[in-house]
Copies of this chain bind each other. A is one copy, B any other.
């Protein structure tokens, strides 16, 4: 059985659980307590030298890191990752957008604000920078979703899984979604696409 090294605070890990649930794929879930340094122990660094969760241990003993690469492995050969060259590349475009323009702004601010971090002067300055950058990312999503039900094609793909994870909890980071009606309608479509699990499940 495959094994997911997970953190309950991580939207990146939630993406993987959500897709495995949708695929009906059984897996073992091992929680790594990041706050207690468990992602930086020699034992964990032997699994992932980059010291991050989520991490997927495959049945052949290979460890796969990076949440969106895990989504790619899980989805390969299914409709969650189109084989068509252009649709495949467009899914990839949104996965890289998510990790570069969305997650470092929206997820990072949410983590600081909800996880008891001291808001040092540096962190306050960074929040001032990340706040408009996060809204810019939401604005790009809003424009794209104005004329489409999902990010690529007519049904959900891993692009939707990746972007749903931190968008649906963006308000916990102070990113109000009221000005993004198309994003909110898309979130409702993804949530309604069964089977579904919540980030807290």
Contact = CB atoms under 8 A, between A and B. Distances in A.
Contacts of A136: 50
Interface of A: 49-50, 58, 60, 62, 64-70, 72-73, 76-77, 85-86, 88-90, 92-93, 95-97, 99-101, 103-104, 122, 125, 136-137, 139-140, 143-144
Contacts of A50: 97, 101, 136-137, 140
Given A64-B90, A72-B89, A125-B122, A96 B97 contact: no
A195 to B, nearest CB: 23
Given A66-B100, A100-B100, A101-B50, A85 B93 contact: no
Considering the complex of A and B, which 9 residue pairs feature the smallest CB-CB distances, nearest first? A73-B89, A66-B96, A69-B92, A69-B93, A72-B92, A66-B93, A49-B140, A76-B85, A50-B140
